[in-house]
Amino acid sequence: MHLALRRAPVWAQDLLAALGVGAVWFGFVGYMYRGDYWRPHFIEPYWWTGAWLVGVLALRRVAPGWAFWGTAMFYPLFQSGVSSSLFHLAPFLVAGFCATRQGAVPPALTAIGAVLSGWALNLYLQSLLGYGKINSWATPSDVLSTVALALAAVALGWMVRRIAVTGEELRARNEELTALQGVLAQQAVLAERTRIARELHDVVAHHMSAIVVRAQAADRVAPNQPRAPAEAVTWIAEEGKKALTSMRSVVHVLRRETGEALELAPAPALVDVRAAAARLTASGRDVELDLPDDLGDLRPEVSLAVVRIAQEGLTNVLLHSLAPRLSLEVVATPGYVRVAVSDPGPPLPDNPDLHGGNGLLNMRERALSCGGTLSAGPDHNGGWRVQAVLPREAS
C-alpha cells in the first residue's frame, strides 16, 4: 500500500494527504462541538478553516503560489464569524510555508502577504455583516501573535527549502564523485597495467633481444665457423639465466603487499647500463661509453628512467641497426640529466621477427612521467639518435 502511494502522481499523493487531514479536522471539531466542554460563539469559521486547509494541502506542490495568494486575498473574507482562536490562522500559515518551501514565492513577499492576511483576519468587520460601523477587537497581543506566527511559518519554509536544495546539490555532487571515482579507478588500473608492462619489457626485452640476435648470427656463420653455435648456446644460456633472474625479481616485487609505493625492480644503477653495453660488445659492436661515476642524488623515478632509457636505446641499436659502433652519453648537470644514444647506421633490413616492439613508446612515457622530453629520429649524418632530457626536480 505504501509503495503504491509513493508511485502515485504528486497531485494524487497530496490530495489523499489533504483529505486525511480534513477527515481528522472535521471529525475532531464535530466531536468537540457535540460535547459539553466546548461551545464556541461561531462554529462556521471552524468549518471554513478545515475546508480551506484541505484545499491548501491539496495544492501544496502542484500550485503552491496560487494556493498562497488565493488564501492571502480571499480566506479572510470567508471568516464572517471570526474569533480570537489561533486555529483560524492555520490555512495561511500552511500556505506561506508551502509557497516558500517550494520556491513559488520569494520569502520576503510571502512574509508580507502572510502578515497582512493574518492582520485582516483579526479585524472583525461588523459593517460588512450589516451590524453597523466597523469595530476591531484586535489587541496588540493578537497582532503580535499573528505577525510572529506568519514570519515563523515563512522562515521555516525557507530553512526547509535551503536544506532540501543543499541536500539535492550534495546528492548530485556525490553521484558525480561516484562516477568520477569509477573513472579514476579504471584509469589507475590502466596506468598500473601499463607501468607493469613497461617495466617487464624494459627489464627482460634487452636480454631476449640479444639472445635472438646472437642465435641468428650463429646460425648464419655456422657453415664457416662450426664452433659458433656451441659458443652461442653457452652465451645464450648465461644470458637466459640473467633474463629469468631479472623477471623473477620484478614479479617478486610486484607480489609484495605493502602500504608504500612499490619499486617495480631493484634499485637501478649504471652497472646495469654497462652490462647492456657489454652485451652489444659481445655481439660485435663497439660501444663508446661516456658515463658519470654514479647517478648521485637523483629522484628515484629519474634514476630509473636514466637506466631504462639507456638500456632500451642500446637494445634498439642491436635490433634495428648495422652500425659497427655507437655511443652512449649520460651527462648530469645541476638542473637536468641528458641521456643520448647515437649510431651512424646504416639501418638493419626489415626483420619481421623483431617488429612490434614498444621501445620508443616506453622511453617516451618514462621521460614524460619525470617531466622530461624525449626525441628520436635520424641525425644530420644519416644515422639515428635518441636523446632524453630529464629534470632533476619535479615541476
308 closest CA partner among 343, 280, 266, 342: 266
CB neighbours (10 Å) of residue 290? 10
125 or 151, higher pLDDT? 151
- Total count of domains within the chain: 2
Cis peptide bond prior to 352, omega within 30° of 0: no
Q: Give residue 255's pLDDT band: very low, low, confident or very high (50, 70, 90).
A: low
Task: Assess if residue 188 is contained within a domain.
Answer: no
**Model pLDDT, residue 340:** 92
Of 123, 138, 153, at which residue does a domain stop?
Answer: 138
* Average pLDDT, integer, range 314-329: 85
CA dihedral 202, 269, 366, 350 (to 10 degrees): -40
Higher model confidence: residue 393 or residue 100?
Answer: 100
Range 14-29 average pLDDT: 89
More confident residue, 250 or 135: 250
Residue 45, domain member (yes or no): yes
Residue 28 lies in a domain: yes
- Maximum mean pLDDT: which of 10-14, 73-77, 238-242, 261-265: 10-14
The domain boundary residue, chosen from 138, 173, 191: 138
* Residue 248 belongs to a domain: no
Higher pLDDT, 356 or 26: 26
Q: What is the mean pLDDT of residues 206-223?
A: 72
pLDDT (mean) for 68-78: 83
- Quote the pLDDT of residue 79: 67
pLDDT at residue 265 tops 60: no
Closest CA to 194 of 362, 373, 371: 362
pLDDT of 133 higher than 50 = no
Measured between alpha carbons, how far is 78 from 176 in angstroms, rounded to an integer? 51
**Is residue 376 predicted with pLDDT exceeding 50?**
yes
What pTM does this model have?
A: 0.49
pLDDT tens figures, 145-198: 778 888 898 899 999 999 999 999 999 998 888 888 888 877 777 777 777 777
Reply yes or no on whether the pLDDT at 380 is more than 50.
Answer: yes
pLDDT of the residue at 124 = 46
Q: Which three cell numbers stand for residue 296?
A: 648521485
Closest alpha carbon to 288 in 252, 230, 330: 330
Instruction: Give the CATH number of the domain where residue 371 resides.
Output: 3.30.565.10
> Does residue 354 fall inside a structural domain?
no
Q: Is 371 left (phi over 0), alpha (psi -120 to 50) or beta?
A: left
The whole domain housing 27 covers 2-138
pLDDT at res. 354: 47
Query: Which phi-psi region, left, alpha or beta, contains residue 348 (left: φ > 0; alpha: ψ -120 to 50)?
Result: beta
* pLDDT tens, residue by residue, 272-300: 888 888 878 877 788 899 888 877 778 88
Q: How far is residue 158 from each of residues 107, 141, 150, measured CA to CA in Å?
A: 7, 26, 12
Tell me the pLDDT tens digit for each residue of 345-362: 888 776 554 455 577 888
Indicate whether 40 belongs to any domain: yes
pLDDT number for residue 393: 82
**So what's the pLDDT on residue 6?**
62
DSSP string, 4-16: HHHHS-HHHHHHH
Which strands make up the sheet holding 325-332, listed edge to edge?
286-290, 325-332, 336-343, 384-391, 373-378
186 lies in some domain: no
Percentages helix, strand, coil for the chain, rounded to the nearest 5?
65, 10, 25
Where does a domain end: 138, 167, 202?
A: 138
For residue 218, the model assigns a pLDDT of 73
The answer to whether position 221 is within a domain reads no
The mean pLDDT of 1-11, rounded to a whole number, is 66
Q: How many Å apart are CA 326 and CA 319, to the nearest integer?
A: 13
